Amino acid sequence: MFSSLMSRLPGLRAFIEKLEKHGELKRVRTPVSPILEIAEITDRIVKAEGPALLFEETGTSFPVLMNAYGSERRMALALGIEVDSAEPDPLDTISFRMQALFGKLLSPKASLLEKLQMLPTLAQVAGFLPRRHRGKAPCQEVVLSGEAVNLFHLPILQCWPADGGRYITLPVVHTYHPHTRQRNVGMYRVQVLNEKTTAIHWQLHKVSRRHYDAWKETGQKMPVAIVLGGDPVYTYAATAPLPEGVDEYILAGFLRGRPVPLVSCVTQPIEVPADADIVIEGYVDPQEPLVLEGPFGDHTGYYSLPDYYPAFHVTAITYRKDAIYPATIVGIPPQEDAWIGKATERIFLTPIRLTMMPEIHDMDLPVHGVFHNMAIVSIEKSYPGQGLKVAHALWGAGQLMLTKIVVVVDKSVSVHDYWAVARAACEQADLRTDIVFSQGPLDVLDHACSQMAFGGKLAIDATPKGPEERLFPPLVYPTPDPSRLSAEALRPDFTEILETNLRLIEKGIPIWVGSFRKSQKYHGRRLGEKLAQHPAFRGIKVILLLDGDMPIDDLGDVFWRFTNNVDMRRDTRVVEDEAGLPHLIIDASVKSLALDDFQRPWPNVTVMDEVTIQKVDEKWELYGLGPFLSSPSRKYSLLVQGEGAVA
């Protein structure tokens, strides 16, 4: 019976049919290259909030699916939520389901009858557990092993010009612990080194890295399987921030409402979903030397630079006869991964409330903050210091430990309204008492911290304060005059200022944003200190400085550059002016050894090369994708310093 259910499971082709039915997919029948061209086309479509793309002629036997999760609606469809385009927040549906289930499981049961009434719920939970598939699995209709293995038969992408090679960008990587046999299903980029070997980017804080370390102690080879395609819920589950030891396929079963069918691999002792499109089987030998991986144009919008990671040796490639190769690109936000992250933000709000912080009302991880750079939370406050308590608790909560900036507001403030959040931060946070600098683990991809994966953090308590929290009389800042804060008005005194963005100030939010030409030692810090003492800045609470020639009119771009380019302890300081008013100065300029004593290489931003841009320009009408879209890379090329991945 379970085997017969297999034919009805919503695999990747069924998802594509659903996207087409809802007008969410375009087919590209013009031949395209997986080397840069697909990525450049997709970057234009993603930035224009366009549809999913199915490239049918890729120079291989496999079509390539891109941008499949690139909107809230498509993300909801991927998770089985049938939505009307006008329905608000469809992803909250899953959070409500989870809350109802957790509520039943966690509520106290006083009587035998109440306990017996739990049996259907327990049976429902048991129905989420993965099960063995019987019979021939669709993912093994074609089996290539031995000399027949060649990764270059797959349309594996190179996304950005300075990438170290071609990357599998949407891999669902399967490992298990050698002693506990606990499975981990994660998404870790995979660089192809040759026909039968890749490098796997198992970062310091990831579960598969711990599995690797455990296998190393055994002296045995570590079985690994990389799954591509199948039910789109597998891709989402691989990205979900589950606690270690919780099987991702239980979450997938919950989201889909039925168990995930698993089958043993052909050449490795490890299980994979039977309805996958493509499976790459192999092993990692922990006794081997690590191999150089990277550079890679990453989701931060910057290249992550080369480092050493384990080599993966392919022993077989299996696939469906009608297999589709799914892929994605990451780079300067927004990209497709924004919507995968937003699904996590909505779905995991309930577990955070129920298991850690019941006072949390809502949460937002800004897309332009590339998720781990900022978290905004609203709380139902009931005692003094609760805002900072929540900030510290988030820094201890799973992958949220990597968050660089935490802003806590009252539940009356919408965390998704960034204007309202900025206004609350300026009105409610006293710079003398309501901000806390800390330090701790940061994402391995954070290029601004002085030590890899370790650096400064900032918490801002922007909740209303009771009398117990007011340690000093309140400060009164005068209303700033925008005409005195423009680049033209300031340039006679500060010749290095290039441009200003006064949109926040014009909305009554005293945050000044400016760019400058950097030429001196610690220039950003010193300029900020001088600006804080200038009479025009008396009413300004935050001074944010960026360098470079790129325009700063787009606040989304400003936010992206700011959150990526600062170590919050090193690059941020509070300075009092002559009237005793404190100002928060943030130096978000590019750091270097010569001007900042910065000891690490600074990466370049991810932009496409001019040859590929012109190629796509010339072919645009052939793709059948509607009116011409210019390359987003042209906007950001002003940030590139030199050539290659290192600025």
Active site residues: 298
Burial class, 529, CB count within 10 angstroms (exposed 0-12 / middle 13-18 / buried 19+)? middle
User: Which pair of structure tokens corresponds to residue 528?
Assistant: 């900020």
Concatenated DSSP letters of 564-627: HS--TTTSEEEEE-TTS-EEEEEE-SPP-HHHH---SPPBPB----HHHHHHHHHHHHHHT-SS
User: Which pair of structure tokens corresponds to residue 538?
Assistant: 């008396």
Residues whose CB falls within 8 Å of the CB of residue 174, separated by 6 or more in sequence, listed in order: 183, 184, 185, 224, 225, 226, 227, 270, 271, 272
Distance of CA 528 to the CA centre of its chain: 31
CB-CB neighbours of 8 under 10 Å: 9
User: Which pair of structure tokens corresponds to residue 199?
Assistant: 């490098």
User: Which pair of structure tokens corresponds to residue 86?
Assistant: 């006008």
Letter for the amino acid at 313?
A: H
Helices (H) and strands (E) in the chain, counts: 21, 30
Residues whose CB falls within 8 Å of the CB of residue 81, separated by 6 or more in sequence, listed in order: 90, 91, 93, 94
Half-sphere exposure of 613 (CA within 13 A, CB side): 14
Rounded distance between C-alpha atoms, residue 442 and residue 564, angstroms? 12
Concatenated DSSP letters of 148-217: G--GGGS--BB-STTSSS-EE-S-EEEEE-TTT--EEEE---EEEEETTEEEE---TTSHHHHHHHHHHH
